Amino acid sequence: MQESFDHLCLIYPFHVGKAVSAREREKEFGVSDDLLHVNTSFTYGETSLSTISRLLEVVENHRLLSKEDGCLEDKQRREVFLDVGSGVGKPVFAAALVRPWSLCVGIELLRGLHEIALEMHSHWRGGLPYVERGVKGTLYRIPSSARRSRILFRCGDITDENVMKVRQRREERDDNDDDDDDNDDDNDVAELSLEGGTESLWDLVDVAYACSTCFDEPTVIKLAQAAMRMRPGTIFATSGVHLPATWGKLIETIPETNMSWGQCEVFVYKRY
């Protein structure tokens, strides 16, 4: 799992994402490096696979404690993961590697980062590039079980209701690449499309995450207000900053999680 994640991230390492972020925030919003201390919400950072893995372990542990009925893996295959401010998409890919989902969505405000996420997704789906003796080729290093979780990216403001519109549909999955798949019933799960929707993605999200260490207070408040639509019992985790107490109950604090800039705490909330 870690090897797959590392190979994918080699295509666009941290310094590339940081440079694109700096260029895009200045071009689109006029926030240069000199002004970044005024609007810290544009600070670029990346979340590690180990942090997403620890977060999802906490989520499942709390479910086991609550003694939810039904097979846990079957429930997972029908859930939706959302990364708020997804950057180049690395937490989305990490979530898909850790366990199965019906859908993993990343929404990013800066178009340059969003376009990198789309390119990384094409590598995820079509094989990772390699060069041997001067000959270019592609090699699948992503487990087929991870590629079965549908991944979608959208560019826009997460607090904009139009950006969060989705529609549910049924379609047959294309699993031709997955020779070791066992054709089970999760092909019949209603899938989500980010095009032409009338429903809010917030209503369907089961686990949300935000790499929010540098979010200023107004940004956190706007985010929490938008996420009020999440169902009771759903999970929202934030790195470094707390959600308002009105959103939900803080169920666990994960200490010393690994981020691109060092370590920080991740706060895990359950919706009231």
Mean pLDDT score, 146-169? 89
Decide which of 102 and 180 is more confident. Answer: 102
What digits encode the pLDDT tens for the residues 206-215?
A: 999 999 888 9
231, 271 Cβ separation under 8 angstroms: yes
Q: Which range in 48-52, 127-131, 168-172, 216-220 is most confidently predicted, on average pLDDT?
A: 48-52
- Angle separating helix axes 111-126 and 14-29, nearest 10 degrees: 140
Confidence at residue 113, expressed as pLDDT on a 0 to 100 scale = 96
Confidence at residue 182, expressed as pLDDT on a 0 to 100 scale = 38
Q: Is 26 exposed, middle or buried (0-12, 13-18, 19+ CB in 10 A)?
A: middle
Confidence at residue 220, expressed as pLDDT on a 0 to 100 scale = 95
Task: Give SS3 for 78.
Answer: coil
Q: How far is CA 264 from CA 45, 51, 59, 189, in A?
A: 12, 10, 18, 36
Nearest to 90 by CA among 194, 5, 155: 5
Confidence at residue 71, expressed as pLDDT on a 0 to 100 scale = 66
Q: Which range in 2-11, 22-31, 82-91, 173-182 is most confidently predicted, on average pLDDT?
A: 82-91
Q: How many helices (H) and strands (E) does the chain have?
A: 8, 12
Instruction: Work out whether the CA dihedral 232, 233, 235, 236 comes out positive or negative.
Output: positive
**pTM recorded for the entire structure:** 0.87
- In order of their start, the domains of the chain are 2-163+201-271 (3.40.50.150)
Confidence at residue 77, expressed as pLDDT on a 0 to 100 scale = 73
| Local confidence band at 9 (pLDDT 50, 70, 90 cut-offs) | very high
- Mean pLDDT is lowest, of 168-182, 225-239, 252-266, for 168-182
- pLDDT at residue 46 greater than cutoff 50: yes
